[in-house]
């Protein structure tokens, strides 16, 4: 079993103390959600796990890897793959070309073709638009493409940074359904969201992150009916 373990992590940007003794775990097979408002430290956490931001204190390990020191490409090759906030797809490249970009760390050509087929099967909208430029897609389709690109990399632990951002409620539902299916097919998921309502519907467990600390945790169903969580994160 490869458990992601974050313990007592501090991250600074100069004088900004972004993460303060942050601790949480994600077990294999789970969907775990980090809930938090804008500026809470969610993206910093993701970038720290991907090796793009380094902790000043604390430990971060996954599957025998020390994520606090491992190189970003080593982390991706080991199967920890992030879908960054704001999607960052390439707008002048086609859908298919964007998916192929997910394969640059993958050596096995057969595996790549199989994964791209799986992505098209999971998200038929992308298959219909495979020759269209990324920039012509709707926001929801761009999010699907960003997830698809990560899937082509072959993740075992998928990090999703606010996939619902800027999407209409119906589209949020579709994206959450896709994430749920990806998880059912065997990929562990760490999801960070401001949209607590949508995220708690698919998560097994969740943590609340407030100014760089985890302030509450529990099974998603329990947090969804906790009066403090309802007031602070579910709009009363």
- Measure CA of the first residue to CA of the last residue in the chain; give whole Å: 38
Phi, psi dihedrals of residue 219, rounded to the nearest 5° = -60, 140
User: Which CB sits closer to ligand ADP, 44 or 103?
Assistant: 44
Residue 13 found at the interface with ligand ADP (CB under 6 A)? yes
Residue 43 found at the interface with ligand ADP (CB under 6 A)? yes
Which of these ranges, 12-20, 113-121, 140-148, 225-233, lies near ligand ADP under the rule CB under 6 A? 12-20
Q: Which of 3, 16, 21, 73 binds ligand ADP (CB under 6 A)?
A: 16
Q: Which of 9, 32, 33, 40 binds ligand ADP (CB under 6 A)?
A: 40
Q: Which of 4, 6, 9, 18 binds ligand ADP (CB under 6 A)?
A: 18
User: Per the structure block, which two tokens stand in for 204?
Assistant: 């097994």
Residue 50 found at the interface with ligand ADP (CB under 6 A)? no
Q: Which pairs from 99-107 meet CB under 8 Å and 24+ separation?
A: 99/126, 99/145, 99/148, 99/149, 99/152, 100/152, 101/149, 102/148, 102/149, 102/150, 102/151, 102/152, 102/153, 103/152, 103/153, 105/73, 105/76, 105/77, 105/153, 106/152, 106/153, 106/154
Q: Which residues inside 54-93 make contact with Mg ion, applying CB under 5 A?
A: 85
User: Which CB sits closer to ligand ADP, 132 or 194?
Assistant: 194
Neighbours of 126 (CB within 10 A): 23
User: Which CB sits closer to ligand ADP, 43 or 153?
Assistant: 43
Residue 34: name its binding partner from Mg ion, ligand ADP, none (Cβ under 5 to 8 Å by kind). none
**Cβ partners under 8 Å of residue 133, min gap 6:** 91, 92, 93, 94
Q: Helix or strand or coil: residue 10?
A: strand
- Placement of tokens 């313990």 in the chain: 7
In angstroms, give the least distance from the CB of 100 to Mg ion. Answer: 27
Residue 43 found at the interface with Mg ion (CB under 5 A)? yes
What residues line the site for Mg ion (CB under 5 A)? 42-43, 85
What residues line the site for ligand ADP (CB under 6 A)? 13, 16, 18, 36, 38-44
């Amino acid at each position: 079993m490869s458990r992601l373990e974050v313990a007592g992590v501090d991250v600074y940007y100069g004088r900004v103390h972004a993460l303060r003794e942050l601790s949480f775990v994600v077990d294999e097979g789970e969907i775990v959600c980090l809930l938090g408002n804008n500026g809470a430290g969610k993206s910093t956490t993701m970038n720290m796990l991907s090796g793009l931001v380094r902790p000043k204190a604390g430990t971060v390990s996954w599957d025998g890897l020390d994520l606090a020191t491992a190189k970003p490409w080593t982390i991706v090759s080991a199967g920890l793959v992030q879908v960054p906030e704001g999607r960052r797809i390439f707008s002048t490249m086609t859908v298919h070309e964007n998916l192929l970009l997910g394969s640059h760390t993958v050596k096995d050509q057969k595996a790549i073709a199989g994964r791209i087929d799986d992505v098209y099967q999971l998200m038929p909208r992308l298959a219909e638009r495979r020759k269209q430029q990324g920039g012509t897609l709707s926001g929801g389709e761009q999010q699907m493409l960003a997830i698809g690109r990560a899937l082509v990399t072959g993740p075992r632990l998928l990090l999703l940074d606010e996939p619902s951002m800027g999407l209409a409620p119906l589209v949020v539902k579709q994206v959450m359904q896709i994430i749920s299916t990806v998880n059912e097919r065997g990929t562990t998921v760490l999801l960070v969201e401001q949209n607590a309502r949508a995220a708690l519907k698919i998560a097994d467990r969740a943590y609340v992150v407030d100014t760089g600390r985890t302030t509450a945790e529990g099974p998603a169903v329990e947090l969804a009916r906790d009066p403090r969580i309802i007031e602070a994160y579910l709009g009363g």
